Amino acid sequence: MKHTAAYRIAGWDVGGAHLKLALLNAAGDIVSVGQAACPLWKGIDYLHRAIAELTANLDLSACRHALTMTGELVDCFTSREQGVAAIIDAMCRHYGADRIDVFAGLRGFLAAGRVAAADCMDIASANWLASVMLAAQHIPDALFVDIGSTTTDLLLIEQSQPRVAGYTDYQRLVSGELVYTGVVRTPVMAIAQQAEFNGRNMGLMAELFATTADVYRLTGDLNDAHDQADTADGAEKTALASARRLSRLTGYEFDAADWPLWLAFAAHLKQCQQQQLVEACRRRLQAAARPQCCIMLGAGVGRFLVKQIAAELGLIYRDFADLLPTAGGGGQIDAGDCAPAAAVAYLPAGLVKAGGWYKI
């Protein structure tokens, strides 16, 4: 039976690996947040399946829909333009073009039925901008860090305004505001080519034997609800299977009796990734006019790392989920896990009503 709550806005973030949904009621409270695996590189049918999964018990017939995305980048599309058009078309098939507003960055929201090819680069991979725009309404000075399954966004907020150096993926990789590392899907070989193992420093095999999800299953940091991607070998997601996958990187024959060795290896790999992000945060803070005023605002399924990085840098930590009103009991997925979806749900009412968009 479908829930028939009076949802006002559904915020959607269509990623290349996950689909995220945040629902607001008429009072502006978050009433439901969800995430579903969506390996979009395999084809657009996976988006339709993920929509069906997330909405199986929801009646969204009366609400408006706000859409942002990064999934246009996946390799089943030959261009971002094709990807943006395909994702919008898929959403329109479910909810109708007249009820969907598409986030186009600094241009605000565009009616889905009026999106043209010239609009696609403004729409493509702009979900991070929605998140930092909403965060800036609540926090005057911060380093906003969203660590997801695959990527990390590092964005300054100063005097209640986002301070953005780059807008496209290329510009953001150059500026250091986008770091391609996450806590679920990133191959371990991308975070460490050398590592301490069994008392020695050694090279690791550059093969897709294990991902960061294997690391964080062993360290105990990864929430099961966030662990939705396939494993590197297609095998189970147990701690034992994760240790076996990590062992392949070392060439050392796996034996469960060596359990302390595998735990220590996972802890070391966590430290490798965390230190990469610490240095990335330091570089962004150096660009701040008043770094001493910044707190660290954490979002994403990997924000357990943000909290630890804040402690290392001596910064106050705040959680994105705590900025937004929530009605009812919290589930395993919250607004902090799905910050862009929550942000696009809030921004149409908040920014348009306020009379315009941020000057960035």
Q: Check pLDDT > 50 for residue 356.
A: no
Which residues pair with residue 298 across a beta bridge? Answer: 145, 319
Q: Check pLDDT > 80 for residue 94.
A: yes
Q: Check pLDDT > 80 for residue 358.
A: no
Q: How far apart are CA 285 and CA 291, in angstroms?
A: 6
Q: What is the share, in percent, of the chain residues with pLDDT greater than 70?
A: 94
Contact 42, 76 (CB under 8 A): yes
What's the mean pLDDT in 153-170? 96
Amino acid at 269: L
Strands 7-14, 152-158: pairing kind: unpaired
User: Which tokens in the block code for residue 177?
Assistant: 């505001």
Residues counted in the chain: 360
Q: What's the pLDDT at 248?
A: 98
Q: What's the pLDDT at 207?
A: 97
User: Which tokens in the block code for residue 357?
Assistant: 């968009």
Mean pLDDT (the chain, rounded):
93
Query: Within 10 Å of residue 248's Cβ, how many Cβ atoms?
Result: 19
Evaluate if pTM is beyond 0.85: yes
Query: Within 10 Å of residue 67's Cβ, how many Cβ atoms?
Result: 26
Per DSSP, the three-state class of 283 is helix
What's the mean pLDDT in 256-283? 98
User: Which tokens in the block code for residue 303?
Assistant: 């924000």
